[in-house]
Amino acid sequence: MKRRSFIKNVSLAGASMPFVLNNMNFQVVSQKLFGFSKSAEDRVLVIIRMNGGNDGLNMVFPIDGYDNLANHRNNIIIPENQLLSLTPDVALHPTMTGLQGMYNVGKLSVIQNVGYPEQNRSHFRSMDIWNSGMMDPSATTGWLGRPFDEAYPNFPSDYPNSTYEDPFAISMGYEVSQTCQGLMGNFSMAIQDPFDTISLGQSSVPNDGTYYGSHMEYISTLIAQSNSYGSQINDAANAGNSLSTMYDPNNPLATQLKYVAQMISGGLQTKVYILNINGFDTHDSQVDLVNPATGAHADLLKTLSDAVAAFQDDLALLGLEQRVAGMTYSEFGRQIKSNASRGTDHGDAAPLMLFGSCISSGILGPNPVIDSQVANQAGVPMQIDFRDVYASILKDWFEVDPTEIQTFFEQNVTFYPVLGACNLSTEELDKEKSNVLLYPNPAVTATTLRFESSGERVRIEITSITGAQAYVVCDKDLKPGLHNVPIDLSDLAAGAYVVKVMKNSGNENITLTRLK
């Protein structure tokens, strides 16, 4: 049997059961990311999978539908005055102070009502759909694996090599990510601890042309790859650093993200990191009997929020913030009505989060509509297809050609503006003190205005491009120094506006584009 045919057969047969040696899964490649532009070659994507089906209505609260939601969830609802406000109409769970802080400085985006048509409420089938990016039940490749198959049809032969020494993707844990499954193999490698990638013993077994010989040659190749990649990962982890004091050593997700920061800062050229947080299948005891703001789901959301906030802080301190973007997802949301066990059952759409200093911060998509009467077992209807989010990340973050992206999914995708202007460092802001800055711009539902005050009265107005006044953002005395003013755009129609900063030391104007 030819080696390529053997690899193809093994890959297809074992797509749901990756090959594992010494707790390390492999078939990986470190190459230029399927044709992205030179300006995007150093970019990294961190994906956090919330396993079990996250209750989005207990994470991101639609304030305009809160009263109806409280009626449908009277045994688990958190009092409105305990929620963390993002906008007048959107609030976070009270344990998510870390992500609220990131939102306030333009480093968090919430995409509402993300899912797919005719939601399948099976954990396994739904996760297959999210990982593959396809509704076809026979799909065996992942949404990241297909672009790599297109770019590297000879993989996994001859990797790693002297030019491409590092794995393309790393999954933190014991399972390789199916998002990176290609036709001939998986482009990701799974590790538990980058400081403990022990080399495997290896012996050379010649291929005598038999089926057995092909097997042994293939296994020898995998062992060699594992040893080589393990050495690269270990060296990068030891060469890297972590500067944030926000990591909680008792938070397992924070520990994994700290490892990721150390590998990136140590020079590893891996482009995608996939992490997992388990426990979101909250059919019962989702909240505490006495205090619904605490309990199993609250603990999970705090774990996620604290870990991501610490990671973002670390990236900023390491000078890596503009290289890394992240996203969260879960296989489905939960039903609108709670059940009698203080829990929620399998539902449909849910919010997805993007984080980083370069994402288009704000709220994308309308709040889910919570009617006074809902059918039993009703979930949140999908309004944004998850494949559109994937496609937008490929286009904006990795700068993949949109016409090429369309071939990776079984439908025409819609591109959303997920990338905003990168937040400037303190040093860069010092150089720009005479200028007013908006980020992101263009923006969807929120932006942040940065400007310098000499200690004076400042009035900020937003007017349409024709000069008609929209509204006053600020009119008060401000202390000397740099100021960051969040601006809610949810009441503005799509179009062009002028943001006017009026002060004694000099008026400044900047054009703002409000996207749909």
Q: What is the DSSP string of 287-325?
A: S-SS-TTSSHHHHHHHHHHHHHHHHHHHHHHHT-GGGEE
Residue 85 domain-assigned (yes or no): yes
Per-residue pLDDT of the chain (516 residues; tens, 9 = 90+): 333 333 333 333 333 333 333 333 333 323 344 455 556 668 999 999 999 999 999 999 999 999 999 999 999 999 999 999 999 999 999 999 999 999 988 899 999 999 999 999 999 999 999 999 999 998 999 999 898 788 777 777 777 777 768 888 999 998 899 999 988 788 898 899 999 866 655 555 565 555 555 555 556 555 666 666 777 899 999 999 999 999 999 999 999 999 999 999 999 999 999 999 999 999 999 999 999 999 999 999 999 999 999 999 999 999 899 899 999 999 999 999 999 999 999 999 999 999 999 888 889 999 999 999 999 999 999 999 999 999 999 999 988 889 889 999 988 899 988 887 676 444 444 444 445 777 676 677 778 888 888 889 999 988 876 666 668 888 888 888 778 788 888 888 877 788 888 888 888 888 787 776
Look at residues 30, 336, 297, 71 and name the one whose alpha carbon lies nearest to residue 189.
Answer: 30
- Does residue 446 contact residue 487 with C-beta atoms inside 8 Å? yes
Tokens 């006495």 appear where? 290
Report the alpha-carbon distance of residue 287 to residue 79 in Å, rounded. 13
Whether omega for the bond prior to residue 147 falls within 30 degrees of 0, making it cis, is no
Same domain, 312 and 433: no
- Structural element, H or E, at residue 51: none
Q: What pLDDT does residue 148 have?
A: 79
CB distance 10 to 218 below 8 Å: yes
- Which of 354, 381, 408 corresponds to the end of one domain? 408
Comparing CA positions, the residue from 5, 7, 2 lying closest to residue 218 is 7
Q: How is residue 341 written in tokens?
A: 């066990």
Does the residue 187 lie in any domain? yes
Phi-psi domain of 170 (left: phi exceeds 0; alpha: psi -120 through 50; beta: other)? beta
Q: What is the per-residue pLDDT for 129? A: 97
Are 140 and 277 found together in one domain?
yes
Q: Where are the beta strands (DSSP E) in 319-442?
A: 324-329, 350-355, 362-364, 384-385, 437-439
Let me know whether 252 and 165 are in one domain: yes
pLDDT at 4: 35
How far CA 14 is from CA of 185, 426, 505, in Å, comes to 9, 49, 67
Q: Are residues 337 and 374 in the same domain?
A: yes
| Res 307: pLDDT | 98
Question: What CA–CA distance (Å, rounded) separates 390 from 232?
Answer: 29
Structure-token pair, residue 101: 């802080």
User: Distance of CA 415 to CAs 56, 285, 402, Å?
Assistant: 23, 39, 9
Give the burial class of 210: count Cβ atoms within 10 A of its Cβ; 0-12 exposed, 13-18 middle, 19 or more buried: exposed
* Boundary-marking domain end, from 352, 375, 408: 408
Is residue 50 in some structural domain? yes
Could you list the residue range(s) of the whole structural domain that residue 503 is in?
Answer: 426-514
Within 13 A of 70's CA, how many CA atoms are on the CB side?
9
Are residues 446 and 404 both part of a single domain? Answer: no
Residues 299 and 157 in one domain: yes
Residue 421 lies in a domain: no
Work out how many domains the chain is built from and give that number.
2
* 418 part of a folded domain: no
pLDDT of residue 423: 62
Query: Which tokens belong to 80?
Result: 């409105």
**Does 451 share its domain with 391?**
no
Q: For residue 279, is it left (φ>0), alpha (ψ between -120 and 50) or beta?
A: left
Q: Which of 379, 408, 437 is the last residue of a domain?
A: 408
CA distance linking residue 181 with residue 123, whole number of Å = 19
Residue 184, in any domain of the structure:
yes
Burial group, residue 141, by CB count within 10 angstroms (0-12, 13-18, 19+): buried
**Contact call for residues 442 and 513 (beta carbons, < 8 A):** yes
Same domain, 326 and 463: no
Amino acid identity for residue 25 in this structure: N
Residue written as tokens 């993200």? 257
Does a structural domain hold residue 76?
yes
Q: Is 424 within 8 Å of 358 (Cβ atoms)?
A: no
Tokens encoding 437: 């800055």
Same domain, 290 and 438: no
Q: Is residue 497 classed as helix, strand or coil in its secondary structure?
A: strand
Return the structure tokens found at 235: 């060296």
329 & 458 share domain: no
Residue 18 within any structural domain of the chain: yes
Cα dihedral angle (426, 86, 254, 290), rounded to 10 degrees? Answer: 150
Q: Beta-carbon neighbour count of residue 476 at 10 Å?
A: 8
Judgement on whether residues 333 and 437 belong to the same structural domain of the protein: no
Residues 444/106, Cβ–Cβ less than 8 Å: no
CATH of the domain at 504: 2.60.40.1930
Regarding whether 161 and 56 lie in a shared domain, the answer is: yes
